[in-house]
Amino acid sequence: MLDADFFRRWMTATAALVDREAERLTALDSPIGDADHGSNLQRGFTAVTAALEKEAPDTPGAVLILAGRQLISTVGGASGPLYGTLLRRTGKALADAAEVSPEQLAEALRTGVDAVRTLGGAAPGDKTMIDALVPAVDALGESFAAARDAADEGARATTPMQARKGRASYLGERSIGHQDPGATSSALVMTALAEAAGE
């Protein structure tokens, strides 16, 4: 079973990975965006870890709702409301359980990803974070490691895609040949989840 501490570890591991990979995320956002994805998420997840330390939420749902709220209020870019919605809606779906099973997390995360799809209007193949998140959630029933690998593969598969949502879509065909920064950061979020689970 996964308790509030597990979810805290997931968020702090995400913050650490975002810190480590911030330059790469911003570099990916340079040819097909506005070169701020790494700094956007760094600001957001720094606020997440600070809030989690200060408020010490004691259920899985409360950890994710607090984290999501921080992302929405501190990240200016498109990714803030999208990741914020992902975490908040996943947290809401976990309600006030003190512990949840991996299956319950997989189901809740599916709700969260669906909310991101509704908010952003992106479908698989549009070259966004959805291209990493959907395969990850599909694989989560198997294991955390499988979800991490699926997200990674999903992120790499965005390279030949033409962007249909977000800033990169303004480039039309010129968006082809670059890996999507948001799909790449989603793979980091799933890597952090596998780390928190010790996989």
Contact residues for Mg ion, defined by CB under 5 A: 29, 33-34, 36-37, 77
Helix (H) or strand (E) holding 3: strand 2-3
Specify the residue, 75 or 100, whose C-beta has the smaller distance to ligand ADP: 75
Binding partner of residue 82 among ligand ADP, Mg ion, none, CB cut-off 5 to 8 Å per kind: ligand ADP
**Tokens representing residue 173 in the block:** 């065909």
Our CB check for ligand ADP shows the closer of 32 and 64 to be: 32
Shortest Å, Cβ 103 to ligand ADP: 26
Residue 146 interface partner, choices ligand ADP, Mg ion, none, CB cut-off 5-8 Å depending on type: none
Selection from ligand ADP, Mg ion, none that 78 binds (CB < 5 to 8 A by kind) is ligand ADP
Quick one: residue 3, left, alpha or beta (phi over 0 = left, psi -120 to 50 = alpha)? beta
Find out whether 193 and 148 touch, Cβ atoms under 8 Å.
Answer: yes
How open is the CA angle 21-150-27, to the nearest 5 degrees? Answer: 25
Q: Which is nearer to ligand ADP, 187 or 197 (CB)?
A: 187
- Decide which of ligand ADP, Mg ion, none touches 154; Cβ closer than 5 to 8 Å per partner kind: none
Distance CA 179, CA 175 (A): 9
Residue nearer to ligand ADP on the CB measure, 29 or 60: 29
Cα distance between residue 100 and residue 105, in whole Å = 7
Q: How many residues are given for the chain?
A: 199
Which residues of the chain form contacts with ligand ADP (CB under 6 A)? 29, 33-34, 36-37, 40, 77-79, 82, 120-122, 128-130, 165-167, 180-183
The dihedral through the CA atoms of 82, 85, 86, 88 has a sign that is positive
Residue 112 binding result from Mg ion, ligand ADP, none, given CB thresholds of 5 to 8 Å by partner type: none
User: Which amino acid would we find at residue 38?
Assistant: G
